[in-house]
Each structure stands twice: as C-alpha cells, then as structure tokens.
C-alpha cells in the first residue's frame, strides 16, 4: 500500500454538504497530519464559507479542477448516485479514497471501484461507524478466532428515527443536527438518487453483518413498503449466502423522533451464537459447550458515532494503521445485497441472484 510518511496528507473533498461539514471536515481540520488542499461543491456562496471555516487552500465548482491539484487523498460526499463517477475519477489518478455510503447504487460499479483501488494500491474506505465501535470490534475478533464456528444463520434488524427525514415531512433527526449546511433532501427522498431506507440506513446493518461474518450474498428475496412516502420506509430480505448459510435482514425508518437507533444482529454458528445489540449495548456469546461470555460495553458506547472512520482513513494513508474495518470489498458486498433486495421487491419478492 502506498503511504504518505514524511509530510501531512494532502486532502481534497468532492462534496461539502451536510455530513461533510458536520462530521468529516471538523475532524480532519483538527489534525496536524492533514492539509486541506481543495474543496468542491456547486453552490459558490456556501463553497466560500466552507473554504474559510475549514481552511481549504483552494475551492472550485469543478471536479476536474479539484483533481488537478496536488493531492494524496479525496473524500467523496456527493449525492449517492454520483459516488461512482467521482470515486472512479479519483482512483484513476492514483488517489486514496474515502467514499460515503452507499459506495455506489450499482453492484458492478462497486466492484469496479474495488478493482481500481487494488490496481492503484490505494486505500478505499467507506465510513460505516459501528464497525469501529470497541465492543463490536472485540466481537468480530472472537468470530474470526472461531468461537462460534462456521456461520449457519444471521438475523439482523435496524430501526431509525427517520420517518420525516425519508418521507419528506421534516428535517434531520436531532442526533444529526447540521452545523453549517442542511442536507439536500433529494438525496434521501428521490429513489433515482438512491433515496430511501435501504440505501440510507439498512446498509449499516447489512454491512455490519457481512463484516462480522465474512459472508457474501448469493440469492435474495426482498420486499419494501413505502407508506406515505415516495421512497422505501420498510425493508425485508431473506438471503442465501455463498457458503450455504441463511439470513434474514430487515429495517424500519419509523422510530419516534429522538429515539435511540436500534440494531440487533444474531449470528448462529456450529459452536454457538453471538447476540449483538447496539441499543442495549451488549455483545454476548452463548456456546454449546456451556460457556457464556459477555464483552464489556459501557453506557453510550452503542450510540452511532462516525469520528473514527475519517481518522482511520488518514492513519491508513500514513501507514500508522493497517486495519480497514469498512473496506471497499465489504461495501461492495453490501451494495450487491441491497440492489438484489430492491430488484426482487419489484418482481413481488421473487428470488434474485447476486
């Protein structure tokens, strides 16, 4: 992996909206080993504010002009349907890439990005925050060590306080209050742009389940429902994985406002089961030999935080870390499962091969 070791990492940002200005930019601007070189977005007035507030040396409304700067790495936080175009352009220039989720909407494009990153020998990271949470990382290590044996079944659910966010009746949940720029709701409420719960939220539990287990979907039967909304608010998928394991993954956008996010994953293996719950902050292993192990999860540790992924991205670029918990490969496996879910729903739940 090509690294930057003797100077700050020169970073460009394609996209400078709600989540970038609320989460990513403040974190990177505070690091001494990062130089914010260039930022790109279409609104010149807000662009100027972003440049001044975070100290970008250069600002432009043109992606090609940004990519022509002297960069090492690029953040992609544009609308979902533009991720592939922008990430591929950055990878073609040999730049390390952190691309917001969903990495793409199309599975072939997702795997193309994975291939391009491998060929260029650069980092490709998608910031799924729960995959960097302490007790969840510890649970992953135990699964990798074979504690529950071969995975045979996964059950996962996610629910979010996002009813108004996706249905077009209000703004963002209070947990996501913007600090500078409001979200472009077309990204979240237009299915053609990847709006809806599947791409916007279910992707978290899908990615986490695939990362924990290393599995890849083979066939998916899916259903969606969109009550009082132009995009999906509920998702349900029955999955067959390439190793023969089965899975059930589901999501709901309609928790009451200000509720704590819910995500519950149960992984059944030949030796036992993992019970993982971010709302109640537990990771517990129940084994067939009678052993039971609970991992330490402090109060509040299950709350969603995305502070680690941008920092880990820089640490990967500089070689200070080699642990990418949300690599392009994991993101691509999530994209293909969700794409199959949506395609199956269009044909009444008939199974769709991945």
Q: Distance between CA atoms of 246 and 242, rounded to whole angstroms?
A: 9
- Check for a shared fold between 9-129 and 130-304+326-353: no
Model confidence at 29: pLDDT above 90: yes
pLDDT at 175 exceeding the cut of 70: no
For residue 179, what pLDDT band results from cuts at 50, 70 and 90?
Answer: confident
Distances (CA, A) of 62 to 160, 183, 341: 35, 20, 35
Q: Does the pLDDT value for residue 280 go beyond 90?
A: yes
Rounded to whole angstroms, how far apart are CA atoms 338 and 345?
11
Amino acid 189: pLDDT: 86
- Tokens (6 digits) for 115: 């291939």
Cβ-contact 186, 79 below 8 angstroms: yes
Q: Which two tokens stand for residue 152?
A: 């045979």
pLDDT for 344 equals 98
% of the chain exceeding 70 in pLDDT: 98
**Judging by beta carbons within 10 Å of its beta carbon (0-12, 13-18, 19+), is residue 159 exposed, middle or buried?**
buried
Rg (CA), the chain: 20
Q: pLDDT per residue over 318-337, tens digit each?
A: 999 999 999 999 999 999 99
Least confident among 32-41, 178-187, 336-345: 178-187
Query: For residues 74 and 47, what is the distance between their CA atoms, to the nearest angstrom?
Result: 17
Tens digit of pLDDT for each residue in 268-279? 999 999 999 999
Q: Where are the domains of the chain?
A: 9-129, 130-304+326-353
Omega cis (within 30) before 350: no
Residue 171: the pLDDT is 67
Task: Tell if the pTM clears 0.85, that is, is over it.
Answer: yes
Q: What's residue 164's pLDDT?
A: 87
Q: How far is CA 47 from CA 55, 65, 239, 351, in A?
A: 12, 14, 43, 45
Lookup: tokens for 124: 């490709």
Give residue 170's pLDDT: 64
pLDDT tens digits for 113-135? 999 999 999 999 999 999 999 99
Q: What is the number of other CB atoms lying within 10 angstroms of the CB of residue 299?
A: 7
Q: Dump pLDDT digits (tens) for 58-81.
A: 999 999 999 999 999 999 999 999
Q: Which residues contact 266 (CB under 8 A, 6 or more apart)?
A: 154, 155, 156, 273, 274, 275, 276
The pLDDT-based confidence of 184 (bands split at 50, 70, 90) is: confident
- What integer pLDDT is reported at residue 150 of this predicted model? 98
Q: By percentage, how much of the chain surpasses pLDDT 90?
A: 88
For residues 19 and 181, the model is more confident at: 19
State residue 297's pLDDT score. Answer: 87
CA distance linking residue 271 with residue 337, whole number of Å: 26
Identify the pLDDT of residue 168: 78
* Among 313, 341, 323, 333, CA closest to 111: 333
Mean pLDDT, all residues of the chain: 95
Nearest to 156 by CA among 334, 298, 292: 334
**pLDDT for the residue 317:** 98
What fold is seen in the domain 130-304+326-353? Dihydrodipicolinate Reductase; domain 2 (3.30.360)
**Can you give the three-state secondary structure of 255-289, one letter per residue?**
CCCCCCCEEEEEEEECCEEEEEECCCCEEEEEECC
pLDDT digits (tens, 9 = 90+) for 133-150: 999 999 999 999 999 999
Q: Are 221 and 352 in contact (CB under 8 A)?
A: yes
Minimum mean pLDDT range among 164-168, 239-243, 280-284, 292-296: 164-168
**The predicted structure's pLDDT at residue 177:** 76
Q: Which residues contact 213 (CB under 8 A, 6 or more apart)?
A: 143, 151, 154, 245, 267
**For 88-108, how does the pLDDT look when each residue is reduced to its tens digit (9 = 90+)?**
999 999 999 999 999 999 999
Architecture of domain 9-129: 3-Layer(aba) Sandwich (3.40)
Q: Give the pLDDT score at 169.
A: 67
Smallest CA-to-CA distance from 126 within 343, 352, 329, 328 is with 328
């Amino acid at each position: 992996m090509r690294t930057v070791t003797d100077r700050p990492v020169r970073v460009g940002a394609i996209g400078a909206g709600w989540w970038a200005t609320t989460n990513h930019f403040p974190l990177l601007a505070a690091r001494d080993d990062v130089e914010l070189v260039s930022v790109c977005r279409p609104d010149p007035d807000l662009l100027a504010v972003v440049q001044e507030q975070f100290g970008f040396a250069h600002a432009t409304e043109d992606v090609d002009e940004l990519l022509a700067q002297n960069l090492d790495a690029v953040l992609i936080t544009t609308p979902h349907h533009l991720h592939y175009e922008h990430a591929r352009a950055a990878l073609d220039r040999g730049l390390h890439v952190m691309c917001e989720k969903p990495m793409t909407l199309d599975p072939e494009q997702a795997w193309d990005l994975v291939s391009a990153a491998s060929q260029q020998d650069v980092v490709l990271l998608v910031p799924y925050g729960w995959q960097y949470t302490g007790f969840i990382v510890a649970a992953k290590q135990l699964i990798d060590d074979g504690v529950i044996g071969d995975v045979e079944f996964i059950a996962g659910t996610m629910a979010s306080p996002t009813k108004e966010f996706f249905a077009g009746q209000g703004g963002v949940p209070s947990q996501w209050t913007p600090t500078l720029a409001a979200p472009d709701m077309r990204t979240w409420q237009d299915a053609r742009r990847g709006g809806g719960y599947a791409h916007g939220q279910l992707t978290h539990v899908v990615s986490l389940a695939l990362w924990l287990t290393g599995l890849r979907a083979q066939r998916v039967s899916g259903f969606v429902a969109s009550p009082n909304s132009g995009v999906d608010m509920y998702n349900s998928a029955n999955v067959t994985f390439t190793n023969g394991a089965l899975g059930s993954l589901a999501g709901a956008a309609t928790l009451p406002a200000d509720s704590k996010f819910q995500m519950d994953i149960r992984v059944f293996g030949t030796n036992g089961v993992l019970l993982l719950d971010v709302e109640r902050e537990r990771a517990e292993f129940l084994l067939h030999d009678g052993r039971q192990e609970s991992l330490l999860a402090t109060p509040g540790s299950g709350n969603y935080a995305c502070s680690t992924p941008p920092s880990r991205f820089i640490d990967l670029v500089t070689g200070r870390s080699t642990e990418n918990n949300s690599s392009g490969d994991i993101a691509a496996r999530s994209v293909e499962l969700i794409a199959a879910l949506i395609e199956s729903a269009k044909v009444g739940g008939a199974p769709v091969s991945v």
